[in-house]
Amino acid sequence: MFSTELYIQRRNELKKNIHTGIALFLGNTDTPMNYPGNTYHFRQDSSFLYFFGLDLPGLAAAIDFESGQEIIFGNDVDIDDIIWMGPQESIRNEASKVGIGETMPYNSLNDFISKALQQKRMLHFLPPYRGENKITLNQLTGIPVAELKSKASVELIKAVVKLRSIKDKYEIAEIESFMDVAYLMHTTAMKMAKPGVYEREIAGAIEGIALAHGGVVSFPVILSKRGETLHNHNHGNLLKHGDLVLIDAGAESPLHYATDHTRVAPVGGKFSQQQKGIYEIVLKANMDAIKAIRPGIPYKTIHLLAAKVIADGLKDLGIMKGNMEEAVAMGAHAMFFPHGLGHMMGLDVHDMEDLGENYVGYGDGLSRSDQFGTAYLRLARELQPGFVLTVEPGIYFIPELIHQWKDEGKFKDFINYEKAIEYIGFGGVRIEDDVLVTDDGYKVFGKPIPKTIAEVEELMNL
Ligand code: GLY
Ligand code: MN
Ligand code: MN
């Protein structure tokens, strides 16, 4: 947990942004996996963690923006709980750690919210994403489950996004503190990527590293020689000499701040000439994009810069053709780079995605492209010091997409389909780093994970 003062300060900042009504924050509950007593690993809600710090199931919190009152709702454990779970601190003690003096049993929430609604007080809540909390919110407010998202408070969403988007020095230190674990996960994966090894052996080993260091993975490990599938969670393939294995993995620190990196390893330890050609393009896109990061530049500009590097590189290889400025403007590059350059990262690996991607990544006055590829850009707005984001360009050869566009005759002035078809079976290359926007530029988090061809090959052949 951070200091008591930090949580008080964060709530005070929220109060400076909202002046009327009551905000209700529902923490997460223990959620059954296959029967009630066998629960998923508990993960607290990130906005609850940000303002209230308490990493325990079954809590809620309220802030009255008019009176300043702050309450934690939760139940003290009884002897039965102690027998199974061991001794637990009282809710009063827990609440005091984050500077809140008033606590109430969880079932008082009903009366508290009913009274507020009778008094016609504005009730602010964030969009719920878990079934349990949707039901609770429905029972407390009477709002149908299907309408909860649209009835969430835009004022609260915007205020929370504004605060959580700028990481303070404590959050930055927490993110940095787990980068050695990210380094170990990725270097272990690269060293393990040898012929005769199953993908699942590597995936299991690196998830184990996150656990062994007091964290968890920040999202299910993406690891496959079929790297063209962007979020490939199937780890059943046996690696053979000459395969290219894509590893997109991160860890979550004890305070739940994420890391998120992607590296690509040639099975057997040497990239082929064809693999080198594609890899070098993605590497240039990654490094040029990182170098362009500074306050004031829209991230969409950097996304398009990376897209242009990719298109130019593919043209040099004969896979694309024609005028690459036009190709990128029209979205032809998205055949090979069909996702955004990156996203905010913090308490969530895709930070605050539950609050709405457009609030987080676009903001007022900036609308999302509806063009295939660029439409998936999660972060487009002007960068500010304190933003933490990922830079993750990639090139993929997706057989179904290549065939579909070819059959449609799509972008035939920009794509050399005969050449693209030669790359079917190649897989994909993505190179991802985590970056802090500083006052005058950027800082890449962590000890550099081998990234150039020479660095990757050296590590794999140690
Ligand atoms: N880990 C998924 C992503 O890179 O966004
Ligand atoms: Mn990733
Ligand atoms: Mn990412």
Q: What is the pLDDT of residue 365?
A: 82
**Closest listed residue to residue 200, CA positions, set 216, 219, 223, 217:** 223
Pocket test for ligand 1, best of 262, 282, 337, 434 (most atoms within 8 A of CB): 262
Does residue 264 contact residue 279 with C-beta atoms inside 8 Å?
yes
pTM above 0.75, yes or no: yes
148, 165, 182 — which closes off a domain?
Answer: 165
126 phi and psi, to 5 degrees? -90, 160
Ligand 3 centroid to Cα of residue 390, in Å, is 6
Ligand 3 centroid to Cα of residue 363, in Å, is 20
Pocket test for ligand 1, best of 223, 229, 260, 377 (most atoms within 8 A of CB): 260
Q: Which residues surround ligand 3, an ion (CB under 5 A)?
A: 260, 390
* CA 21/CA 15 separation, integer angstroms: 11
165, 192, 221 — which closes off a domain?
Answer: 165
The ligand 1 atom at the shortest distance from the C-alpha of residue 248 is: 1
Question: Do 212 and 333 sit in the same domain of this protein?
Answer: yes
Question: Do 289 and 417 sit in the same domain of this protein?
Answer: yes
Question: Do 181 and 159 sit in the same domain of this protein?
Answer: no
Question: Do 329 and 346 sit in the same domain of this protein?
Answer: yes
The single residue listed with the structure tokens 């081998």 is 450
Ligand 3 centroid to Cα of residue 431, in Å, is 10
- In CATH, what number is assigned to the domain containing residue 60? 3.40.350.10
* CA 94/CA 87 separation, integer angstroms: 13
Question: Do 157 and 193 sit in the same domain of this protein?
Answer: no
The ligand 1 atom at the shortest distance from the C-alpha of residue 219 is: 1
* CA 260/CA 353 separation, integer angstroms: 15
Pocket test for ligand 1, best of 218, 390, 391, 429 (most atoms within 8 A of CB): 390
The single residue listed with the structure tokens 């309408």 is 147
Angle value at C-alpha 41, between 38 and 45, nearest 5 degrees: 125
248: which 2 tokens? 């997109």
Q: Give the binding-site residues of ligand 1, using a 6 Å CB cut-off.
A: 219, 248, 260, 343, 349, 392, 432
Ligand 3 centroid to Cα of residue 261, in Å, is 7
The ligand 1 atom at the shortest distance from the C-alpha of residue 231 is: 2
- Binned average pLDDT, 10 residues per bin, the chain of 462 residues: 98 98 98 96 98 98 98 95 92 98 97 97 98 98 98 98 98 98 98 98 98 98 96 94 98 98 98 98 98 98 98 98 98 98 98 97 90 96 98 98 97 98 97 98 98 98 92
The ligand 1 atom at the shortest distance from the C-alpha of residue 350 is: 5
Amino acid identity for residue 119 in this structure: Q
Give the pLDDT confidence of 296-311 residue by residue, as tens digits.
999 999 999 999 999 9
**Closest listed residue to residue 456, CA positions, set 266, 300, 297:** 266
Does residue 141 contact residue 123 with C-beta atoms inside 8 Å?
yes
**Which range of residues forms the domain containing residue 105?**
4-165
Question: Do 345 and 440 sit in the same domain of this protein?
Answer: yes
